[in-house]
Amino acid sequence: MKVEWKIAWRYLFSKKSHNAINIVSGVSAAGVMVATAALICVLSVMNGFSKVVEQMFSQFDAELRIEPAAGKYFRLDSPEMAAVQQMQEVSIFSPTIEETALVQYNDHQVPAQLKGVSDQFQALTRIDSIIYDGFYSVYDGAFERCVLGRGLAAQIGINPHFVGGMKVYAPKRRGQINMMRPDQSLNHASTFIAGTFAVDQVQYDDRLMIVSLPFARELFDYSEQEATAVELGLSEGTNVKKVKKQIRQVLGTEYLVLDRYEQQADFFRISKVEKMLTLLLLMFILLIATFNIIGSLSMLMIDKQEDSRTLGTLGATRGMLRRIFLYEGWLISTLGAGVGMIMGLSICLVQEHFGILKLGNGTDYVLSAYPVQVQASDVVLVAAIVLVIGYLSAYIPTRQIEKQS
Give the pLDDT confidence of 313-356 residue by residue, as tens digits: 666 666 677 777 777 777 788 888 889 999 999 999 999 888 88
What pLDDT score does 289 carry? 78
**Phi and psi torsions of 274, nearest 5°:** -60, -40
- Show the beta-strand stretches assigned E in 1-142: 64-68, 74-75, 90-105, 108-117, 131-134
**For range 16-40, the mean pLDDT:** 76
What pLDDT score does 308 carry? 65
**Between these two residues, 402 and 8, which has the higher pLDDT value?**
8
**Between these two residues, 286 and 242, which has the higher pLDDT value?**
242
What pLDDT score does 27 carry? 76
Mean model confidence pLDDT for the chain = 84
Judge whether 67 and 95 are in contact, CB under 8 Å. Answer: no
**Between these two residues, 243 and 357, which has the higher pLDDT value?**
243
**For range 60-67, the mean pLDDT:** 90
Judge whether 21 and 302 are in contact, CB under 8 Å. Answer: no
Q: What is Dmax (Cα atoms) for the chain?
A: 106
What pLDDT score does 166 carry? 93
What pLDDT score does 11 carry? 61
Judge whether 173 and 221 are in contact, CB under 8 Å. Answer: yes
**For range 89-106, the mean pLDDT:** 93
d(CA 152, CA 158): 9
What pLDDT score does 315 carry? 64
HSE of 196 in the Cβ direction (CA atoms, 13 Å)? Answer: 21
Q: How many residues does the chain have?
A: 405
Most confident residue range from 130-134, 303-307, 386-390: 130-134
DSSP-derived 3-state class of residue 144 = strand
Reported as a single tens digit per residue, the pLDDT across 110-166 is 999 999 999 999 888 888 888 999 999 999 888 999 999 999 999 999 989 888 889
Q: Are strands 131-134 and 108-117 parallel, antiparallel or unpaired?
A: unpaired
Lowest mean pLDDT among 163-172, 215-224, 327-336, 395-404: 395-404
Beta bridge partners of 188: 169
Q: What's the distance, Cα to Cα, between the start and end of the chain in Å?
A: 22
Lowest mean pLDDT among 49-53, 55-59, 170-174, 338-342: 55-59
The amino acid occupying position 375 is Q
Q: What pLDDT band is residue 397 in, cutting at 50, 70 and 90?
A: confident
What pLDDT score does 179 carry? 63
